[in-house]
Amino acid sequence: MAMLEVKDLHVAFPRGKHDEVEALRGVSLTLEKGERLGVVGESGAGKSMLAFAILNLIAEPGRVSHGTVKFNGENLLDLSERKIRDIRGNRISMIFQDPMVTLNPVLSIGVQMMETLRAHRKISDKEARALCVAKLKEVAIPSAESRLDAYPHELSGGLRQRVVIAIALLTDPEIIIADEPTTALDVTIQAEIMALILKLCREKDVALILITHDLGVVAEVTEKLMIMYAGKCVETGPTRQIIDTPQHPYASGLLKALPQHAGRGTRLYQIPGSMPPITNLPKGCTYHPRCDFATQRCHGGEPDLVNGVACYNPLTSDPATGTETKTEAET
Amino acid sequence: MITWRGFLKRFLADPVAIGAGIVLLVLVLMAVLAPLIAPQNPYDLMQLDIMDSEMPPSWIPGGDDRFLLGTDAQGRGVLSTIMYGTGISLLIGIGAVIVQGILGITLGLIAGYKGGWVDSFLMRLADIQMSLSTLMIAIIVLALFQAAFDASVYADYAIFMLILIIGIAEWPKFARTVRSSVLGEKNKEYVDAARVIGLPARKVMWGHILPNTLTPVLVISTIQVAEAIMTEAALSFLGLGMPVDRPSLGSLIRSGFEFVFSGQYWITFYPALVLIALVLALNLLGDWLRDVLNPKLRRGED
Amino acid sequence: MHILAFLIRRAIQAVIVMFVISIIGFSIQDNLGDPLRELVGQSVSEAERQTLRDELGLNDPFLVQYGRFLGNAVQGDLGTSYFFKRPALDVIMDKFPATFELVLGATFIFLALSIPGGIYCAINREKFLAKAIMTGSIIGISVPVFLTAIFMVWIFGVELQWLPAFGRGETVEMPWGWDTGFLTIDGLAHLILPSIALSSIMLPLFIRLIRAEMMEAMGTDYVRFAKAKGLSTARVRYVHAFRNTLLPVVTVGGLMIGTLIAYTILTETVFQWPGMGFLFLEAVNRVDTPLIIAYIIVVGLIFVVVNTLVDFIYTLINPMVKLPGAKS
């Protein structure tokens, strides 16, 4: 049994009085202890929705309409509010995208760290403080003691994200879900923060779900990869394998769009069109309007995820370059 | 922006807006047509008879068919005084908002367009004036005015004083709104373009920026009329506003107040009801306008 | 150090405001009514009047007269009331406890109701009660304070006779000369209707404000993060979200002080409440100039003090503003 097993997860939002739209349309994943999974897709693909749904934190009026999230065999979606609170921030922590708005502006760093500890541990003030300082040191925050009394606005974005990471690690969680943890940061700091997350996860054998739109980062950090499109997983498998030999045309397109794949002087590849909004999905395979390989069958029905890919015409396992030349020849 | 057709459609789809619109229309018509439709002219001393005083509404024993809502202490029909009084309240409310608008829009445009110390000075002044509260300023100024002048002199100028004081005291509301929309519009291309072809600053402001700030101005105008009518009513109730022989709704309420204790509630009650209906209708319409014309605010609310 | 700089800054501002108010007060004294007539009546010859004017210093240059006025004012001498024949400041201060206790009662009512009401409406937006409260609040905003007061007098005082609707009732004098109505049942009963009336405009405004701010806070990332940390619902709502609504509430509260003082005049008039506002209107009707000036100056002082207090509270609860207006 895997540590975390998400099965056929659906998230729905009301549209009008009686109708609903689905933002997440049946996503499954498994995560073993210490394993690192990358979730990649364009914005609006449902990546963050997945993250929040795992902790049953979908904001109203949205709701998890179907599926299970089994953590060590226990379905988190069945738990009472009190019970799931013991999991949140304790055994499964989150790191949010924008550290400028993740921390409460009117509470000091110390308060925001210690309240997390106190929610999950019976611990004296003194011990809590010592532990917080220790964690701040682990995330390489200089003069950690004095930072406890500081307020978020007194810290830079990079430092704030380090504080958020320290909070996520406070209770020695088994899983960390990091939702685009570096997107909002300065480019110069992004690599630093990513390296820090990777180092800490390795040291403590913490599993990581890294949500990002950056395939480059995923390649460096994760072992497993899941590519999402319009609320569904279109391809999943070992990171290395997908990056070397993508099967889904969308995965292949994303990889080709990476700058390092373009030769000197050639134009950057761009997938034509844009992802449809969840309120207006095309019939058939949701990717077919943008797909170079779409056939009549793709217009008819949506393909299921078979052998890690949801496509009627998966690309053959040629080296990535092989398929690329083929597409370019057609355009 | 929204088209007239879309605007009308939204209006007709909202029962609250329709209700408020009808109430407002009826009250305005009643006030404008008062000289034609009022049962008597309460200002015409010849028509008044002291024998008619303090009569209850006509459906209560002791009432008289000539006076549907009863009479006050001077024998004036309450219905007629309400019709005339609503007119005076509306006149002061609208007059004051026109003064506010002229002052506020001008100063707001200048503050937003010029920026720098002019802007800081005007906005600081606006802050101070807002925190002093219009009602407090008006009470003190009118109290002094009344103490300094003879009652009959005061009665002649009361209406102008009220319009001016409420108008001057409330300019910051308009100025702030206009200033912020000017700041929003200021850096758009068409303003630059106007400046580039050499139009003078004043023309750019009035001709180009002003039309774009009209939407928020319309929204606050409605609510400001309601506010001004309430302020005027409060001042008249304190005896600092309209005199009893040219009563607004506030002075009518004042003149009936002492009779509440002896059971002649109608002298105060019906003007009070009309005042509440008028202010509520304006407030509801103002809220509705804001929802329709400013989708951003609406989303924040929902 | 920060606190000291803040206090000095505010003290300077307060002095400027009080200086402006004193000029207004002085010009009123200079132009309103004739102190000679009040003192000696009409039957004195012109020559005698002139000597009297000289003796009283009424022919001195403007600045000398103003200096004298200011000097007296600083020592608490704001002239003698024509009507009461007593120092104007004493007359006002006698009425201060009544107004203060009325404001205290109203503040208690609207804080006790608007905070839970606003939070409730923000959290249970779709519930019937929340919608009813929101509808009620727009009606509440549209009913002027003096009408609420009149209706309360009429319904609860005259028709039902449940509660007293006039005056303060029985009061107890405290050792330091403060007349309080808080210590007797009768005094408290008299306080109920006026305080409710006075709070009736603030209440809907604050319910709407707290609801809007609370809703905004509940949708922020830091509240989501607080939930993701596994904190209790109560802590998320009241420590994380509600703490952030306090800043705008305090700001608006500060802006409402002037309005609140104005409303005390209205409320006191309807309930014949023997406070400063009621006294002020009587003074206006009697053209009791020293009393009018004393009221304006006392109200100005209250305004300045409360505003400083509000700013001070604001800096205490807002970690982002250590020093308003000062360069950090």
User: Can you give the pLDDT at residue C9?
Assistant: 75
- CB neighbours of residue B205 within 10 Å: 23
Report d(CA B73, CA B251) in Å as an integer: 13
Report d(CA A210, CA A196) in Å as an integer: 13
Report d(CA C229, CA A117) in Å as an integer: 9
How many Å is the maximal CA-CA distance in chain A? 68
Q: Could you tell me if C56 lies within 8 Å of chain B, comparing CB atoms?
A: no
Helix/strand/coil for C298: helix
Amino acid type, B123: M
Per-residue pLDDT of A156-168, as tens digits, reads: 888 999 999 999 9
Amino acid type, B22: I
Per-residue pLDDT of A246-255, as tens digits, reads: 999 998 888 8
Per-residue pLDDT of C289-312, as tens digits, reads: 888 888 988 988 888 888 888 888
C-interface mutation test, from A115, A117, A167, A209, most C Cβ less than 10 A away: A115
Q: Decide which of B163 and B12 is more confident.
A: B163
Q: Which residues of A touch C (CB under 8 A)?
A: 52, 55, 57, 59, 81, 85-90, 93-94, 96-98, 101-108, 115-116, 119-120, 151, 153, 164, 167
Helix/strand/coil for C160: coil
Write out chain A residues lying below 8 Å of C219, CB-based.
Answer: 59
pTM: 0.82
Q: Which residues of B touch C (CB under 8 A)?
A: 130-133, 135-136, 139-140, 143-144, 146-148, 226, 230, 233-234, 237-240, 253, 257, 260-261, 263, 265, 268-269, 272, 275-276, 279-280, 283-284, 287, 300-301
Q: What is the mean pLDDT of residues B201-206?
A: 71
Backbone angles phi, psi at A318, to 5 degrees: -70, 160
Which residue matches tokens 């005199």? Answer: B243
Report d(CA C195, CA C203) in Å as an integer: 12
- CB neighbours of residue A206 within 10 Å: 21
Q: What is the mean pLDDT of residues C229-233?
A: 91
B118 has pLDDT over 80: yes
Per-residue pLDDT of A108-153, as tens digits, reads: 999 999 999 999 988 898 999 999 999 999 888 888 888 898 889 8
Q: C109 falls in which pLDDT band (50, 70, 90)?
A: very high
Q: Which residues contact C13 (CB under 8 A, 6 or more apart)?
A: C304, C308
Per-residue pLDDT of B61-77, as tens digits, reads: 766 766 666 777 777 77
Percentage with pLDDT > 70 across chain C: 90
DSSP A143: S
Q: C61 falls in which pLDDT band (50, 70, 90)?
A: confident
Identify which of A81, A94, A153 has the shortest CB distance to residue C228: A94
C2 has pLDDT over 70: no
Per-residue pLDDT of C154-185, as tens digits, reads: 888 887 888 888 888 777 787 777 888 787 88
Report d(CA B267, CA B269) in Å as an integer: 6
Q: What is the mean pLDDT of residues C224-239?
A: 91
C225/A116 Cβ within 8 A: no
- CB neighbours of residue A91 within 10 Å: 17
Picking from A213, A199, A208, A231, the residue whose alpha carbon sits closest to that of residue A302 is A231
Q: C326 falls in which pLDDT band (50, 70, 90)?
A: very low
Whether B and C touch, i.e. at least 3 CB pairs below 8 A, reads as yes
* CB < 8 Å & 24+ apart, contacts of B16-25: B16/B284, B16/B288, B17/B284, B17/B285, B17/B288, B19/B284, B20/B280, B20/B281, B20/B282, B20/B284, B20/B285, B20/B288, B21/B281, B21/B285, B23/B277, B23/B278, B23/B280, B23/B281, B24/B278, B24/B281, B24/B282, B24/B285
User: Can you give the pLDDT at residue C36?
Assistant: 60
User: Can you give the pLDDT at residue A142?
Assistant: 87
A105 within 8 A of C320, measured Cβ to Cβ: yes
C80 within 8 A of C290, measured Cβ to Cβ: yes
Identify which of B260, B265, B276 has the shortest CB distance to residue C142: B276
Burial (CB count <10 Å: 0-12, 13-18, 19+), residue C47: exposed
Q: Which residues contact A6 (CB under 8 A, 6 or more apart)?
A: A27, A28, A29, A30, A50, A54, A67, A68, A69, A70
User: Can you give the pLDDT at residue A331?
Assistant: 35
User: Can you give the pLDDT at residue A319?
Assistant: 46
Chains touching C by CB (3 or more pairs below 8 Å): A, B
Write out chain B residues lying below 8 Å of C268, CB-based.
Answer: none
C238 within 8 A of C218, measured Cβ to Cβ: no
B107 within 8 A of B263, measured Cβ to Cβ: no
Amino acid type, C324: P
For chain A, give the mean pLDDT. 86
Q: A279 falls in which pLDDT band (50, 70, 90)?
A: confident
Report d(CA C50, CA C21) in Å as an integer: 30
User: Can you give the pLDDT at residue B300?
Assistant: 33
- Which residues sit opposite A229 in a β-bridge? A232
A93 within 8 A of A168, measured Cβ to Cβ: yes
A79 within 8 A of A72, measured Cβ to Cβ: no
Q: Could you tell me if C237 lies within 8 Å of chain A, comparing CB atoms?
A: no
- CB neighbours of residue A223 within 10 Å: 14
Q: Could you tell me if C240 lies within 8 Å of chain A, comparing CB atoms?
A: yes
Query: ipTM score of the complex?
Result: 0.87
Closest chain A residue to C218 measured between Cα atoms?
A59
| Number of residues that this document lists for chain A | 331
Q: What is the mean pLDDT of residues A263-270?
A: 75
Query: What is the radius of gyration, based on Cα positions, of chain B?
Result: 22
Picking from A234, A235, A207, the residue whose alpha carbon sits closest to that of residue A221 is A207
User: Can you give the pLDDT at residue C266?
Assistant: 92
- CB neighbours of residue C202 within 10 Å: 24
Q: What is the mean pLDDT of residues A287-306?
A: 85
A40 within 8 A of A228, measured Cβ to Cβ: yes
Q: B202-211, C25-34, C299-308: lowest mean pLDDT where? A: C25-34
Sheet holding A63-71, edge to edge: A19-31, A4-15, A63-71, A74-75
State the DSSP H helix or E strand holding residue A68, giving kind and residue range, or none if neither.
Answer: strand A63-71
Interface A-C: count of C-beta contacts within 8 A: 80
Q: A328 falls in which pLDDT band (50, 70, 90)?
A: very low
Q: Which of A269-278, B81-90, C2-11 has the highest mean pLDDT?
A: B81-90
For C277-303, b/e burial (b = at least 16 CB within 10 A) is: bbbbbebbeebbbbbbbbbbbbbbebb
For chain C, give the mean pLDDT. 83
C1 has pLDDT over 50: no
Q: B22 falls in which pLDDT band (50, 70, 90)?
A: very high
Write out chain B residues lying below 8 Å of C28, CB-based.
Answer: 144
User: Can you give the pLDDT at residue C82?
Assistant: 81
C292/B139 Cβ within 8 A: no
Backbone angles phi, psi at B53, to 5 degrees: -70, 150
C257/B260 Cβ within 8 A: no
Q: Which of B50-54, B95-99, B247-251 has the highest mean pLDDT?
A: B95-99
Q: A286-290, C31-35, C66-70: lowest mean pLDDT where? A: C31-35
- CB neighbours of residue C86 within 10 Å: 12
For chain B, give the mean pLDDT. 82
Helix intervals (H) in chain A = 47-54, 81-87, 99-102, 109-120, 125-138, 144-147, 157-169, 187-204, 215-221, 239-244, 249-256, 296-300, 320-330
Percentage with pLDDT > 90 across chain A: 31
Q: C77 falls in which pLDDT band (50, 70, 90)?
A: confident
Separation in Å, CA of B269 to nearest CA in chain C? 9
C250 has pLDDT over 60: yes
CA B112 to chain centre: 26
A99 within 8 A of A163, measured Cβ to Cβ: yes
B298 has pLDDT over 70: no
Cα dihedral across residues B153, B154, B155, B158: positive or negative: positive
Q: Decide which of A176 and B202 is more confident.
A: A176
Closest chain A residue to C235 measured between Cα atoms?
A115
B130 has pLDDT over 90: no
Whether B and A touch, i.e. at least 3 CB pairs below 8 A, reads as no
Q: What is the DSSP string of A101-129?
A: HHS-TTS-HHHHHHHHHHHH----HHHHH
- Terminal-to-terminal C-alpha distance of chain A: 46
Amino acid type, C198: L
CA B83 to chain centre: 16
Helix intervals (H) in chain B = 4-13, 15-32, 34-37, 78-114, 116-132, 134-148, 151-169, 171-186, 189-196, 201-204, 210-237, 249-257, 266-293, 295-301
Helix/strand/coil for A178: strand
Picking from A185, A153, A152, A186, the residue whose alpha carbon sits closest to that of residue A166 is A152
C75 has pLDDT over 90: no
Per-residue pLDDT of C121-158, as tens digits, reads: 998 888 889 889 988 888 888 888 888 888 888 888 88
C280 within 8 A of C100, measured Cβ to Cβ: no
A247 within 8 A of A308, measured Cβ to Cβ: yes
User: Can you give the pLDDT at residue C73?
Assistant: 78
For strands A63-71 and A175-179, give the pairing.
unpaired
Identify which of C254, C281, C303 has the shortest CB distance to residue B238: C281
